Amino acid sequence: MTDILKKYPFIDYFFIALGAAIMALGIGIFLVDAKVVPGGVSGLSMAVHYLSNNTIPVGISIWILNIPLYIWGVKELGKEFGVRTFVGFTLNSFFIDFFRGDTPGFSYIRLQDTETVKGLLQNDFLFLVLIGAALLGLGLGIIFKFRGSTGGSDIVATIMQKKYGIKPGQAIMITDFCVIALAGLVIEFKNLSPERTALTLTMYALFLLFVSSRIVDAIIDGFDYARVAYIISDKHKEIGLRIMNEMSRGATAIKARGLYRDIEKEIIFTIITLKELGTLTRLIKEIDPDAFIIINNVHEVLGKGFRRRI
């Protein structure tokens, strides 16, 4: 897959566009009217949208606010900062206004006015926010996976890391928190949500950030699909043989020394799929009920018997 992406770079841009569209659905259809702000430039644009009494479209505001950040990013980070960032935030801005019917000539679309979305907004607010968070995280994860960016706080975080040594995660967290707090003040000042207090919406926004960030991580790193097991047992030879013969998995003996009893022993090291975890633990307990087992998550395994990640 990696070789294909290098040979056909337009595939990257296709998935960046797809991610931008999915992300735009989450923001434009499920979050704007719910008054739950995702942070970053998107959240700041939503605050501008509310202050203007909904006259300034969210998408165009995102694009305008991203332009000076993009120029700053190119100046600080160089031209290799890339076309992908410009494409990412431009498409995201376009799709948000397109789906909301704010693009000239497409005012009839307005997906946020469908009965399903309106019903969720009135009767199942939490599920509405969860859908928005899932779409936001999925779209952003796809964009990042294919080396794109939506600008905004990503640019600020990268520059802060370069100039001040601040970790990107911390920079984004600080930026998003400030934006969410600002949006909460706007909602309170304008009394935009009589059904829910500004503090309640702020808590929803923080919940949104947590859910969407977990989904982004899952898309980029992949869901855990394998486990590594370290097995400490006096019957390590028998355990190793049965892992190889009955489970058709490799097993490696690592020489070690127990400090408590000062005894030389061998630790069995093996990697299995998630489905095989139950079989492995049952097999070990049959041989040695007192065996000590350490199991860790594995994001990727390159080798025979395991699929490669993109």
Maximum Cα–Cα distance across the chain: 79
> Is 235 found in the same domain as 106?
no
Q: What is the DSSP letter of 247?
A: S
> Is 245 found in the same domain as 120?
no
> Is 183 found in the same domain as 77?
yes
d(CA 4, CA 10): 10
Sequence-ordered list of residues with C-beta below 8 angstroms from that of 97, at least 6 positions apart, any chain:
28, 57, 58, 59, 60, 103
From residue 267, alpha-carbon distances to 121, 140, 158, 195, 260 in Å are: 55, 41, 42, 60, 16
Q: What is the distance, to the nearest Å, from the Cα of residue 218 to the centroid of all Cα atoms in its chain?
A: 6
Residue-level pLDDT at 123: 92
Strand 252-258 versus strand 263-273 pairing type: antiparallel
Residue-level pLDDT at 7: 56
> Is 260 found in the same domain as 140?
no
> Is position 161 within any domain?
yes
pLDDT single digits (tens) 43-79: 999 999 998 988 999 999 999 999 998 888 888 777 6
> Is 230 found in the same domain as 206?
no
Count of H-run helices and E-run strands, the chain = 12, 4
Indicate the residue among 181, 199, 221 that finishes a domain. Answer: 221
> Is 198 found in the same domain as 138?
yes
Sequence-ordered list of residues with C-beta below 8 angstroms from that of 159, at least 6 positions apart, any chain:
72, 73, 76, 77
Indicate the residue among 186, 221, 256 that finishes a domain. Answer: 221
d(CA 15, CA 5): 11
Ranges of residues in the chain whose predicted pLDDT is under 50: 1-2, 4
> Is position 306 within any domain?
no
d(CA 125, CA 167): 34
> Is position 303 within any domain?
no
| Phi, psi dihedral angles at 148 (to 5 degrees) | -105, -175
The amino acid present at 161, given as its one-letter code, is Q
Residue-level pLDDT at 120: 94
> Is 213 found in the same domain as 234?
no
CB-CB neighbours of 115 under 10 Å: 7
The amino acid present at 154, given as its one-letter code, is D
Domain count, the chain: 2
> Is 200 found in the same domain as 235?
no
> Is 92 found in the same domain as 112?
yes
> Is 104 found in the same domain as 9?
yes
CB-CB neighbours of 185 under 10 Å: 13
In contact, 16 and 146? CB cutoff 8 Å: yes
Residue-level pLDDT at 204: 92
Indicate the residue among 198, 221, 244 that finishes a domain. Answer: 221
Tell me the residue range of the domain where 257 lies. Answer: 226-298
> Is position 17 within any domain?
yes
The DSSP code sequence of 177-193 is HHHHHHHHHHHHHHT--
